[in-house]
Amino acid sequence: MNLETLCMDVVELSREVGIFIKMEEGKVRASDIEEKSRNSLVSYVDKTAEEKLVKELTLLLPESGFIAEEGTSHKLGKRYNWIVDPLDGTTNFLHGIPTYSVSVALREGDKIILGVVYEVNRDECFYACKNGKAFLNGNQIKVSSTHELKHSLLATGFPYYDFDRSDAYFELLKEMVHKSRSVRRIGSAAVDMAYVACGRFDGFVEYSLNAWDVAAGAILIQEAGGIVTDFKGENNWLYGKEMLATNVLLFEEFSTLVKNKMGA
């Protein structure tokens, strides 16, 4: 398997799926929308997009399995598994807000080896594979070189279903607002992380995210020279529902802030 060739095939596929999603923008009726669990919305658009991804990714790598948000495949691969979010930012999509993405990662054993995030409305495709570099539409990207929180632009996602840690989270948010240049909440974790990878954001923090929200973004950041950890500064970020991402220079200051408020 040539990982770089596979990565470019996944880039092309993600763009095709993105074009389908864009064509459906504004056409989804209220009766097409289902609430899977509290505030977690889905429509035929997410499901159709995922079915196409599952079908085509299987053709690209027949022995692979899937961890896919909408559960259209439960096949598990021995060595390779795709981690797929066909539409990250469904709430934005359904409300006519332009930031949403297609997010696809490939896992070999317990390592993510490829990631693609396609931000549909900006026609921006971010991609990386292990031991390679990270790219945006063919140009190499790097994390920012901001080294102090006071000069940083941070990103986050607000809790929307798991409010158990929300007091600690909003304490953290207050500190982030006070200590940084400002904080953005754009509604697609995959896009937030792609923006850390290319240096638009200097740091990102969110809890209760699923593996499909963060898998592709994480390898983008790592290959662009950044760091991803859980809130203790450790490695349990894929299934641990804690994501902290930043460049190396800001890591100590940002992770100390997060650890102090949410690391317990």
CB of 243 to ligand 2AM, least distance (A): 10
Site for Ca ion in 70-129 (CB under 5 A): 85, 87-88
The 10 Å Cβ neighbour count of residue 149 is 21
With CB cut-offs between 5 and 8 Å by kind, which of Ca ion, ligand 2AM, none does residue 166 bind? none
Q: In the complex, which residues of this chain contact ligand 2AM (CB under 6 A)? A: 39-40, 69, 85, 88-91, 157, 160, 187-189, 206, 213
The reply on whether position 230 binds Ca ion by CB under 5 A is: no
Site for Ca ion in 36-75 (CB under 5 A): 69
If the CB atoms of residues 206 and 223 are measured against ligand 2AM, the closer one turns out to be: 206
Residues 45, 51, 57, CA angle at the centre, nearest 5°? 130
Report residue 218 as tokens: 């994480």
Between 143 and 193, whose beta carbon lies closer to ligand 2AM? 193
Looking at the Cβ atoms of 85 and 119, the one nearer to Ca ion is 85
Q: Closer to Ca ion at the Cβ: 87 or 221?
A: 87
DSSP 23-88: HHTTT--GGG-EEEETTEEE-HHHHHHHHHHHHHHHHHSTT-EEEETT-S-----SSEEEEEEEEE
Helix axis angle for 44-60 and 3-24, nearest 10°, is 160
Give φ, ψ of 130 to 5 degrees. -60, 140
Question: Binding of Ca ion at residue 192 (CB under 5 A)?
Answer: no
Site of tokens 């240096």: 199
| Residue 157 contact partner, candidates ligand 2AM, Ca ion, none, CB within 5 to 8 A by sort of partner | ligand 2AM
Residue of 101, 89, 48 lying closest to 70 (CA atoms): 48
113 membership: H or E segment, kind and range: strand 111-119
Report the nearest approach of Ca ion to the CB of residue 88 (Å). Answer: 5
Q: Tell me the closest approach of the beta carbon of residue 210 to ligand 2AM, in angstroms.
A: 8
Q: What is the binding site for Ca ion (CB under 5 A)?
A: 69, 85, 87-88
